[in-house]
Amino acid sequence: MTEEENVRRAGPLTYRGRAIPDTTTDQRLLDRRGPADWVHTDPWRVLRIQSEFVEGFGLLSELPSAVSVFGSARIRPGSEFYELGVQVGARLAEAGYATITGGGPGMMEAANKGAQQAGGLSVGLGIELPFEQSLNSYIDMGMTFRYFFVRKTMFVKYSQAFVVLPGGFGTLDELFEAITLVQTKKITRFPVVLIGTEFWGGLRTWVEDSLLKHGLVADHDMELLYVTDDPEEAVRIVQQAHLHLENRFERDEAGPAS
Ligand SMILES: CC(C)=CCNc1ncnc2c1ncn2[C@@H]1O[C@H](COP(=O)(O)O)[C@@H](O)[C@H]1O
């Protein structure tokens, strides 16, 4: 046997003599399918989760300054709330912010529509649901996620603030997640603005009368619930916080490396 026949290189690996496998790596990959139950196992899911982060970061990392807008999936076009959502998207676009929503119908669609029509970048981050649903038609850039928590990371990582319009459980989940991240200083200088004083007034009162009264939140935590009826005021709050943050990063970058 020649030296050439007695060696097999498989990528960075070298096999000689009796250690040479009967098949090549590609043969093992391509020649047969083998069992398929591993696609339903957690190690495989970890790779899918990883790929969602890769795709999400890839889609969003070059996004300009952006604000995530949340709100009910159930509000219909033509309603007062829907119009408010359109206004929010439009004002954000005029101030130079991209609008990110959950990509669905209702208030998400309204904010995307307002943003797109005012010439802003309109982004939809959808979620796989047990019933058929596609991204609304006012989205310039979109992605549909399998994993809820991956999608939530994107909302926080790629926006400077949250604007919360009237909504149900999904909206409350997003609102309280954001407030908890701010309260625990996982994110800083991150305004969370609720739009609709009549709609959100009861929640604010309950937080004050129950949570604050029993000492479950601090006085200054109440400031985390900023409520207004005016989309322009919401944008001003976002801009102020944004400016502060940029100044702080500039100071940090000028200081000693960490
Ligand atoms: C018709 C219907 C129920 C469609 C659901 N389709 C959805 N598509 C995308 N995001 C959603 C959807 N439902 C809830 N969400 C998420 O939860 C929030 C709305 O939930 P809710 O309607 O307030 O509780 C949105 O901000 C969004 O991020």
Residues 198-238 pLDDT 10s = 999 999 999 999 999 999 999 999 988 899 999 999 999 99
Taking the centre of ligand 1 as the mean of its atom positions, its distance from the CA of residue 38, in whole angstroms, is 31
Which pLDDT score, from 0 to 100, does residue 71 have?
98
pLDDT at residue 94 above 80?
A: yes
> Cβ contacts of residue 200 below 8 Å, gap of 6+?
164, 166, 194, 225, 227
Instruction: Give 247 or 19, the one with higher predicted confidence.
Output: 19
Per-residue pLDDT, averaged over 27-35, amounts to 88
If you average pLDDT over every residue of the chain, what do you get? 93
Q: What is the distance of C-alpha 126 from the center of its chain? A: 9
Q: How confident is the model at residue 251 (pLDDT cuts 50, 70, 90)?
A: low
Q: What is the distance of C-alpha 73 from the center of its chain? A: 16
Distance between CA 77 and CA 203 in Å, rounded?
25
Distance between CA 229 and CA 59 in Å, rounded?
32
* Phi, psi values for residue 36, rounded to 5°: -120, 5
Taking the centre of ligand 1 as the mean of its atom positions, its distance from the CA of residue 258, in whole angstroms, is 40
pLDDT at residue 85 above 90?
A: yes
Q: How confident is the model at residue 159 (pLDDT cuts 50, 70, 90)?
A: very high
**Ligand 1 and 142: CB distance under 6 A:** no
ipTM of the predicted structure? 0.92
Distance between CA 42 and CA 95 in Å, rounded?
43
> Residues 122, 115: contact at Cβ < 8 Å?
yes
**Ligand 1 and 171: CB distance under 6 A:** yes
Distance between CA 66 and CA 79 in Å, rounded?
26
pLDDT at residue 127 above 70?
A: yes
Distance between CA 125 and CA 144 in Å, rounded?
6
Per-residue pLDDT, averaged over 66-76, amounts to 97
Q: Which of 154, 157, 156 is nearest to 143 (CA)?
A: 154
Taking the centre of ligand 1 as the mean of its atom positions, its distance from the CA of residue 167, in whole angstroms, is 9
Domains and CATH numbers, the chain: 46-254 (3.40.50.450)
75, 129, 136, 172, best to mutate for ligand 1 pocket (most atoms within 8 Å of CB): 129
Give the closest residue (by CA) to ligand 1 atom 10. 102
Residues constituting the chain? 258
pLDDT at residue 70 above 70?
A: yes
Which pLDDT score, from 0 to 100, does residue 4 have?
66
Which pLDDT score, from 0 to 100, does residue 126 have?
97
Residue carrying the six token digits 């997640």: 177
| Helices assigned H by DSSP within 61-196 | 80-94, 107-117, 148-157, 169-183
Which pLDDT score, from 0 to 100, does residue 101 have?
98
**Ligand 1 and 237: CB distance under 6 A:** no
Which pLDDT score, from 0 to 100, does residue 132 have?
76
pLDDT at residue 257 above 90?
A: no
Residue carrying the six token digits 């909302």: 155
- Residue 162: exposure state from Cβ atoms within 10 A (0-12, 13-18, ≥19): buried
Per-residue pLDDT, averaged over 140-147, amounts to 97
**Ligand 1 and 131: CB distance under 6 A:** no
pLDDT at residue 3 above 80?
A: no
Instruction: Give 230 or 245, the one with higher predicted confidence.
Output: 230
- Residue 59: exposure state from Cβ atoms within 10 A (0-12, 13-18, ≥19): middle
